[in-house]
Structure 1
């Protein structure tokens, strides 16, 4: 989306937008200001994270049924990305596909209720159990008899401890892998004690180790035949996951068949997946996706914007689930701090003070969602509520104060133009919110120019925007993580792998390092809160909002819920009734 058609997209004039900033103290606003009728708003699903669903605008709890097997799930994917999770510079898109094919040593629990999901619990995957004899040693007992996909070059052979050791070595050393340093201070590399036991040691006590290892977009396990062959991983990947790669057509679709030898079962002990296959249809435009949903060609839409809910509900019996977005609707602003004007924290603070977060929630979310913090709301216990009592004096930097923003800009003496760069890879809803932020900057006298760049060739490449190659500010999205240290270290530590803005503060580095060595959870949470308060005082990183999303499914699709980040647990457990 470009700035030229932004105002048409949100059905809002500049005059109305300014008026919409008059939000009440309780954080509500007239939906009519944003072109969302009150009737439409009533139809939004009230269920959170799949605890209930709405059917034809009424909340309903479906009766338990015995799953049916067979059929192909027709899914939507926004863009066509490099499949190879080992070498992709920005991991998120490739891991959506990788999750179908590969497994991990341990993984986060995907729960069907908000409490389960936001707790980011840990369970075994390729490991059936593990022990920690001390703060620096982790021993994993492997699941016996796990078979690889019955396709060349592995042909259904059993996965071995050597596959796991070699995969972890590659994950930790591949220069193109953005998450290679994410495991923490590992002492050398994992080793196989015997054919069914893996040991990993750290050089120092490191509390988030298990959370890092379980996080499901980083440390996939590959059959060793794939590790020296980029072409296989990109074009014909094989692993041990729930689905087997079948075919792809660039820019059109990716096809997967169910893995008949998959080792996991559902809670009732039934073999999964239930569906015979899944097709990910590449449909960038939401209007096109909705038309395909109405025609019955798509079974599930994961990101229906609030103003399009009425179109989805034209499908009789369509199911809707409202959830906080796990992947791309955690919007934020990255001031460039390696060089340029935003090294001055007064200008960074002015950026934050310019944004009306309540109004922003209405741009594409119909007012649904919440203000965000550096540890975003889907991180559960790690989230420091920007409107809660624990936020302290830092609360002022989350509230719009245009007068104070103008004072800070004048005090800094900065009235030049600058770029506000954002990616085309997160969909129209994200672009609309990015352009809303640009307009907010303008309202306090700043002179930003919106610059949209291509995600694949300009944003996510090693020398792209996401890795600090921009001037002015970058408008980005940030996913959730199971432990506060992962996100705080990644984006705020001087040596962080995803430190987009070039934040470098010795006191902040020390606070983050101390969090990494805190094994007491209550104390760790307080350390994480202190880091967020300190970082927001200086506006090193400016979180804005987390939108709710609406997941729509056809009446024939059952057992849909929302899990962490990529929704693949729900895919392997979903079934088609007709």
Structure 2
């Protein structure tokens, strides 16, 4: 009997061990996409900083009341509809049943709270500063009162800086949501990881439908070569901001493909016009004429960039090619340098720790040396770069500006209007009353033709005053693993990844 029991037990184990795979429950594969960019964000508070490393991520976590579609039209997002009852009264009806990641339902109270909070933060305030009052009519209706008509307001309400927050969560966290954001977006925040690795997961109750992937991870890899290597080995699936030269390597790899598209951004030098030597207009012009933009495009961007004539990108409403800009002209540069009367021909350029920007700074340094200007380069970590320049500690600053709404107002007002000095955007601390007046007027009128005419006048003033050293309009180069499907390029570089999918092989 004992032998029989042992035999049957052994037979049972044998049968179980040899059972068909069909008898096993099917294991569900987790679909994960890992995205890498060159800098870690300073904060995931969407209203705090107009910085792309953060906004590319908050775009996935939050929603705005409105959005700009592929054709440049304003359409509802969290809003069901919107209507100007009068030129200074905007009524917004909200979609019903939208959930926050903490389970709360979006109401007009959250919108009122969010807009009032935006008005207290310099970066987001610029987007909506015409708002004088916001109130909840009922749970799903918001009335916004303006101090004056504002043609760019709807674009401002579509910018990621004006994302809608959950009032209860934000108040509970004492307004410190930088590393623990709660939104209504397609992906839910899980882990900050000191900002080097930020983990998100699909939000099951997303109002436009659950994303197809389960996990979205952002990794900051500063070195472009390291980001390329990670893409090639499969450590990451999408690499943003790739060197143009690395794009050729991506194109030759059968497992990868390259997206290289024009953006709404402009690369430029900010001159702090309140300190020497950039308080001298002729010195600023000398620097502009000394910049060999075509050489920068050819040597760094492999032709995937073109010399810029204006701070406004050609893909942005309000751009004009009637403003000549500053072509490379060494003789004119020397002429304006002498005319300036500046004797201390040296300055320091702040650059963030992006290798491509550092290379660009080195070419600028060589260009200026050719006309007798000694430029030193100071490389800063991204957070220090933002903070120190906001406080005006720089003489000059190398950077880029993305038009997040594809409208010239989002360039001219935050970047150059005197109301925006410092952290709000105007790090050149440029002040020109005539320029301010023109930009202000363009914010009041609704006629596209009249707005365009005013934007052209503003660019003509900038051509004369030269508060910036205008450099390039560049493509964004993105390497993507072929298993990733559904990536949609956005010229603002703040790509929404809700439609991503992974083809598991």
Taking structure 1 as the reference length, what is the TM-score of the superposition? 0.77
State whether residues 294 and 314 of structure 1, in contact with CA within 8 Å, keep that contact through their aligned partners in structure 2.
Answer: no
Structure 1 residue 481, shift from structure 2 partner:
3.7
CA distance in 1, matches of 2:73, 2:362: 36
Instruction: Please report how far the alpha carbon of residue 70 of structure 1 lies from its aligned counterpart in structure 2 after TM superposition.
Output: 5.5
Assess if the C-alpha contact under 8 Å between 2:230 and 2:236 holds in 1: yes
- CA–CA distance in 1 between the matches of 2:176 and 2:373? 49
Where do 1:111-122 residues align within 5 Å? 111=70, 116=71, 120-122=72-74
Gaps of 5+ in 1: 1-67, 265-270
User: CA separation in 2, counterparts of 1:253 and 1:135?
Assistant: 45
Counterpart of 1:226 (choices 169, 178, 182) is 169
Per-residue CA deviations over 1:94-127 (Å, capped at 9, x if unaligned) read 2222222111111222x3xxxx3xxx32221110
CA radius of gyration, larger in: 2
Whether the aligned pair in 1 keeps the contact of 2:137 and 2:143 (CA below 8 Å) is yes
The equivalent residue for 1:484 is: 408
Structure 1 equivalent of residue 302 of structure 2: 366
- Please, which of 318, 339, 342 is the counterpart of residue 414 of structure 1? 342
Tell me the number of residue pairs that the alignment of Structure 1 and Structure 2 aligns.
472
2:484 and 2:500 in contact (8 A); partners too: yes
Counterpart check, 1:437 vs 2:375: no
Q: Is the Cα–Cα contact under 8 Å of residues 263 and 315 in structure 2 kept in the other structure?
A: no
Q: Is 1:160 matched with 2:107? A: yes
Residue number among 62, 71, 79 corresponding to 1:127 in the alignment = 79
Structural mapping, 1:389-428, within 5 Å: 390-391=322-323, 395=324, 397-425=325-353, 427-428=354-355
CA deviation profile, 1:547-571 (whole Å, cap 9, x unmatched): 11221211111122211434432x2
Q: Which residue pairs with 2:129 in the alignment?
A: 184
CA distance in 1 between counterparts of 2:403 and 2:309 reads: 11
2:227 match: secondary structure: helix
Aligned with 2:267 (options 310, 314, 331) = 331
Say whether the 8 Å CA contact 1:190–1:198 is kept in structure 2: yes
TM-superposed deviation, 1:307: 1.4
CA distance in 1: counterparts of 2:414 and 2:29, whole angstroms: 42
- Higher mean alpha-carbon deviation, 95-104 vs 528-537, is at 95-104
What is the RMSD of the two structures over their aligned residues, measured on CA atoms?
2.2
User: Unpaired segments of 5 or more residues in structure 2?
Assistant: 1-27
Structure 2 equivalent of residue 574 of structure 1: 500
What SS does the aligned partner of 1:173 have?
Answer: coil
Asked if structure 2 preserves the Cα contact closer than 8 Å seen for 1:88 and 1:178, the reply is yes
User: C-alpha displacement at 1:182, in angstroms?
Assistant: 2.6
CA distance in 2, matches of 1:238, 1:232: 11
Could you tell me how far apart the structure 1 residues matched to 2:244 and 2:440 are? 41
- Equivalent pair of 2:264/2:316 in contact (CA under 8 Å): no
Matches within 5 A, 1:67-466: 71-86=31-46, 88-109=48-69, 111=70, 116=71, 120-149=72-101, 154=102, 156-174=103-121, 177-187=122-132, 189-216=133-160, 218-228=161-171, 229=173, 233-250=177-194, 252-264=196-208, 271-326=209-264, 330-377=266-313, 379-385=315-321, 390-391=322-323, 395=324, 397-425=325-353, 427-456=354-383, 458-461=384-387, 464-466=388-390
Cα 1:69–1:573 shift into 2, 3 Å? farther
Partner of 2:25: none
| Cα deviation 1:201-236 (Å, max 9, x = unaligned) | 1111221111111122x1111111232325862333
Alpha-carbon displacement from aligned partner over 1:42-85 (angstroms, at most 9, x marks no partner): xxxxxxxxxxxxxxxxxxxxxxxxxx996011110222223332
Is contact 2:98–2:207 with CA below 8 Å preserved after alignment? yes
Preserved contact between residue 419 and residue 451 of structure 1 (Cα < 8 Å) = no
Alignment deviations for residues 128-185 of structure 1 (CA, whole Å, 9 cap, x no partner): 1101122111111100000111xxxx3x1211111111111111114xx422233132
Q: Write the distance in 2 (CA, Å) between the matches of 1:86 and 1:554.
A: 29
Q: Cα gap change, 1:322/1:439 in structure 2, threshold over 3 Å: closer, same or farther? A: same
Structure 1 residue 500 and structure 2 residue 452: aligned? no
The separation in 2 between residues aligned to 1:341 and 1:283, in whole angstroms, is 35
TM-score of the two chains, using structure 2 as the length reference: 0.88
Alpha-carbon distance in structure 1 between the residues aligned to 2:87 and 2:150? 7
Aligned to 2:484: 557
Instruction: Using the TM superposition, give the Cα deviation of residue 372 of structure 1 relative to its aligned residue in structure 2, in angstroms.
Output: 2.4
